[in-house]
Amino acid sequence: MDLKESDSRELDDEIGLNYDYHPIGTSRNEEAVVKFPHGPDKNSLIATLLISSFQYLVFNILELRFSDARRHVLISSILFLVKIHLIRRINKADPGTVTPDLHINDYLNEALPARLSMVNGHNVLQKWCCNCRIYKEPRTKHCYTCKRCVNRFDHHCPWLSNCIGYNNYKLFLLFVTCEMLVQHCFVFGLIAVIDDLYVDKFNIFNITAYMYILDKHFFVFMFFVVTLASALFFTVYNVFNKYLMLTNQTTYEYLNKLHVVNPYNGGLLNNVMEFLKLPTNFL
C-alpha cells in the first residue's frame, strides 16, 4: 500500500527506522542502463577463464605424465566443459533486470521513497530507486556496477562479470556445485600422481610421503596444496549456498541482516519448490 506523508513517522516506529520521507521531484536525471557485451568486469572474467584453463591444463599434464589412472582426465574434462558452459550462460544471462515504470509520472509528485508490502504476514519495506525511478519490489536491489535494478538480487559477481539474480541464480548454484566437483576431481587425481611418484607404499595420511614430494617434486606439491585449498573453499561455499537455498535467503539479505525474521522462509519444502521454479536457461 502507498504511504502518505503523514504516515511516515508511523512507518518509522513500525520498522524501527528513522528516515525522513519526502516527495520525489521530477527533475532528477535518470541513470541510463548501460549494456556491456561481456558484463562490466571483463578483465575479471578473462582472469577467471585463464586461471581455470591453466589449472585444467597443468592437472592433465601431470596426470598423463606421472599417473596410470587416466579416468580422472576424462571426468575432469567433462566437468571442465560443463563449467565453461555455465560461466558463459551466467555471463550472458539477464539476471532479472527491472525496467522503469512507464506510468511513473501518474503518481510521481505524490510518491514517497518507501512503502510497505505484505509478504507471508510480514511487512516488507519497498524503497524508491532514484536511479531507475521505480519502487523496488521486495528483494530487488540496485547494482551500481551494472547500473540497474535486479529482481531477487543475490550479489554481483565480478569473476563472472554479472549480477546473480532471479534469472540466473539456479545456474549459479549449478556452477558452484560443478566447480566443487572439478576441484575434488583434481585433488583425487593429484593424490594418484603422488602415489605413483612416491617410492614406497603410499598412505594419504603419511606425512613422509608429502615431505618426499615437497623435496623431489616441489611444483607438484605446491599445485596439490593450492588445489586442495580451492576444493575446501568451494565445498564450504557450496554448503553455504545450499543453506541459503533451503532457508530462502539471498547472499545480500544474509550478509546485511535485513530482516529480524526472514519473511520469505516458507518452510523447507516450500523453499525448495520455490527454488525449483526459478528459470534454468542451461542451454
At 105-119, the pLDDT tens digits run 545 544 555 555 656
Annotated catalytic residue, options 129, 157, 163, 185: 157
Q: Which residue has the higher pLDDT, 40 or 252?
A: 252
Q: Which residue has the higher pLDDT, 117 or 244?
A: 244
pLDDT band at residue 247, thresholds of 50, 70 and 90?
A: very high
Amino acid 219 reads: F
Q: Which range has highest mean pLDDT (15-29, 31-45, 63-77)?
A: 63-77
pLDDT tens column, 140-192: 899 999 989 999 999 999 999 999 999 999 999 999 999 999 999 999 999 98
pTM: 0.80
> Does 157 participate in catalysis according to the annotation?
yes
Contact partners, residue 209, CB within 8 Å, separation at least 6: 194, 198, 200, 202, 203
Predicted pLDDT at 36 = 63
Closest by Cα among 135, 170, 167, 141 to 153:
141
The DSSP output letter for 259 is: -
Predicted pLDDT at 73 = 93
Query: Are residues 93 and 38 in contact, defined by beta-carbon separation less than 8 angstroms?
Result: no
Contact partners, residue 80, CB within 8 Å, separation at least 6: 52, 56, 182
Beta bridge partners of 237: none
- Say yes or no to pLDDT of 3 above 50: no
